[in-house]
Amino acid sequence: MRPLTALLAALLTAVLTAAPADAGRQTTTDAARDVYRVPASGTPALAPANRNHDIVRAGTVHRGRTSTLWLKVRSLPRTGYVATWDVKTPNHRWALHHDRRAGTVYTSLFLFHGPEVLDCSGLRGKALPRQERVVVTVPRACIGRPRWIRFGASMGRETEQVHFIDDARIDAGFRSDRCRLGPRVRHN
């Protein structure tokens, strides 16, 4: 009986002292080598050699006046990608993009399947090549100062012949119209 009592006491202590997983930040880990190659006409297939679009981790910090979202890939290219975050709030769904396909680097915020939000002062995006990360910061005021968010992330490259895509929350799979969302992350 003593080992069982000690085990129960240890479990109770761990549960009572653990910080909530959704208090202001969240990180998710994605399987490596699960990028999909989707030809313009043909069957999607895994592209395990694609390191440039292969998300290994993604996360958010939802604190203060901003929400910062990031993703990490196995090998971040200089150009040729769009990093996307799908953000759900209590009242709306948003799409954030950091576009480095060609030419000018562009970070944008859209109402999901709606217009671009053009008056969002403070929206920032950047690539951190040494860390293999892409980071986007959005002022909470631009998305309605939500109490909580849910987020998903994807990394992709699209040409006329082929599309490469990886979803941070789906191992070896993707959705064609949006990212899979994780649990709520409360503002802290």
The token pair at 88 is 């759900």
The answer as to whether 4 is a domain residue is no
Tell me how many domains the chain contains.
Answer: 1
Q: Which residues contact 126 (CB under 8 A, 6 or more apart)?
A: 98, 134, 135
Q: What angle do CA 160, 162, 167 make, to 5 degrees?
A: 125
Query: How far is it, in rounded angstroms, from Cα 27 to Cα 174?
Result: 19
The answer as to whether 33 is a domain residue is yes
C-alpha distances in Å from residue 179, one per residue of 4, 8, 16, 53: 43, 39, 33, 15
Comparing CA positions, the residue from 44, 81, 78, 85 lying closest to residue 62 is 85
Q: For residue 88, what is the domain's CATH number? A: 2.60.40
Tell me: the pLDDT tens digits for 152-178?
999 999 889 999 999 999 887 777 678
Tell me: the pLDDT tens digits for 52-103?
999 999 999 999 999 999 999 999 999 999 999 999 999 999 999 999 998 7
Query: 154: domain range?
Result: 21-186
The answer as to whether 115 is a domain residue is yes
**Are the C-beta atoms of residues 123 and 112 closer than 8 Å to each other?**
no
The answer as to whether 14 is a domain residue is no
